[in-house]
Amino acid sequence: MNNKTPNYIIKINVLNNAIETDIDDKNLSVVNIFSNKYTYDILKNDINELCCIYNDILNYEILGKSYDNRNIYLFTLGNKNAKHTLFIQASMHGREHMASILVMRHIELLCKNYYISEYKGLNISDILQNIKICIVPMSNPDGVDISINGAEVIREKTLFNNISKVIEENKIHHEIWKSNARCVDLNRNFGCKWEDSYNFNVKSFMEYRGEYPESEIESRLIANWTRENRPDICISYHATGSELYWDYGQKGLLLNKSMVIRDYLKDLTFYKLMDRSSAYKTGVLGYSDWVSMYLGIPAFTIEIGSPFVTAPLSMEEFNDIWEENKFIPIELCRYVVNKKN
């Protein structure tokens, strides 16, 4: 078109069929993977159904509520008294809600296989006696519902008016909304590199960092939980890019630990490793950067989905994303348990 040669991206998935496991991901019937409109209400229904079916190994708590009164849920899978913890959070950005489907399916997969399957020679139940998996499947429920259905889903009048104004002034479609209901980008609200100059200082559908670190309910809840529980590893799921962010300037033992875990993630996903210069291009950095640099915990941001595609992702991509990511939680748990033993 217009005498320009179009560019095409061909994504080739190389799947590791050599993993020693009898984990079965067929006939998972609770989490709906056929619609990319995974709203907060659907999440609530799935939580209730999963916890009813698997009530002996799965439970949830409510960390708090969003500005428009939606719950921030935290799942715990496995032995709730285990000394070690893997923490996973998803959908901190509204338009990246496919990440919620992914981690909810992780939960269903491990619950279904908990008593009957092995992974690399270890029973799933034995692994999860020594480490629990804690998951926040939808860190930004207001933002997710705005992205899916528009400002009309927001019930509080002032919030609705501000969101509508941002959408109108920026001439955008609500689908690309990333921020929370107060027009703050939660993944810019954790305070890492906060003192550096920053160009996005007005309320917006993306990139606005807020008035001060952890000014937002959602980011503060997750930050407080992380500080109090000190997980062994933190994973933050985002979209898009098929990229793995891991290098935030850490040194010494933390750097060595991060490199080892990075290689496990790389071997499973084949995602592109992003170096330090790539991570710092965004200015104020996100949750994983803060966890690593301020708390000294290995933390990773996994960007699912094709490169050069803007979220929300099409559900046509989900099968590939699932194959690339389905063993990440149990692999990381196995790594921690083996290392501690």
Distance CA 315, CA 330 (A): 24
How many angstroms separate the first and last alpha carbons of the chain? 61
Query: What phi and psi, each to the nearest 5 degrees, are found at residue 61?
Result: -135, 165
Say whether 303 is catalytic. yes
pLDDT, one tens digit for every residue, the chain (341 residues)? 455 555 545 555 555 457 899 999 999 999 989 888 999 999 999 999 999 999 999 999 999 999 999 999 999 999 999 999 999 999 999 999 999 999 999 999 999 999 999 999 999 999 999 999 999 999 999 999 999 999 999 999 999 999 999 999 999 999 999 999 999 999 999 988 888 767 788 999 999 999 999 999 999 999 999 999 999 999 999 999 999 999 998 999 999 999 999 999 999 999 999 977 565 555 567 999 999 999 999 999 999 999 989 999 999 999 999 999 999 999 999 999 998 76
From the list 209, 207, 68, the residue with the least C-alpha distance to 140 is: 68
pTM: 0.93
Distance CA 268, CA 331 (A): 9
Listed by start position, the domains of the chain span: 40-340
Residue 152: how many CA atoms within 13 Å on its side-chain side? 4
Among residues 108, 207, 303, 331, which one is catalytic?
A: 303
User: Which amino acid type is present at position 339?
Assistant: K
Distance CA 282, CA 252 (A): 25
Quickly count helices (H) and strands (E) in the chain: 11, 10
Q: Which residues pair with 59 in a beta bridge?
A: 76
Distance CA 222, CA 92 (A): 10
For the domain covering 40-340, report its CATH number.
3.40.630.10
Helix axes 141-149, 40-53, angle to 10 degrees: 120
Distance CA 184, CA 117 (A): 42
